[in-house]
Amino acid sequence: GNSVTQMEGPVTLSEEAFLTINCTYTATGYPSLFWYVQYPGEGLQLLLKATKADDKGSNKGFEATYRKETTSFHLEKGSVQVSDSAVYFCALSDPYNQGGKLIFGQGTELSVKP
């Protein structure tokens, strides 16, 4: 079945450091891929998405490229800020096999220190 695997957290970085959170997926169809962010005490918000191979999603300085050959969708940011501290979830949606339901990774907690 479809699944998403994220690198384990927590990840602790200093402000202005480079961020990579790895995400790989298994899917039988042609999924869309998403990154969601959850700030402390809040619900999940869509951060970025990519709907086909080689697409790059970007938002708020974050980027992720849909790599079909490596089944990956790694999240990157060149210079993190304290305000980026949150839990990040990678997810996929396979309309042909799951009717659009999202399957989530387990989440990666990011803590950015000043």
Residues 48 and 95: beta-carbon distance below 8 Å: no
Helix H, strand E, coil C: the string for 25-63 is EECCCCCEEEEEEECCCCCEEEEEEECCCCCEEEECCEE
Return the residues of window 9-38 that contact another protein according to CB under 8 A.
32, 34, 36
| One residue of 12, 15, 26, 42 binding another protein per CB under 8 A | 42
By the rule CB under 8 A, 3 interacts with another protein? no
Amino acid identity of residue 72, one-letter, is S
| One residue of 25, 49, 62, 112 binding another protein per CB under 8 A | 49
Contact set with another protein (CB under 8 A):
32, 34, 36, 42-46, 49, 51, 89, 91, 93-95, 99-102, 104-107
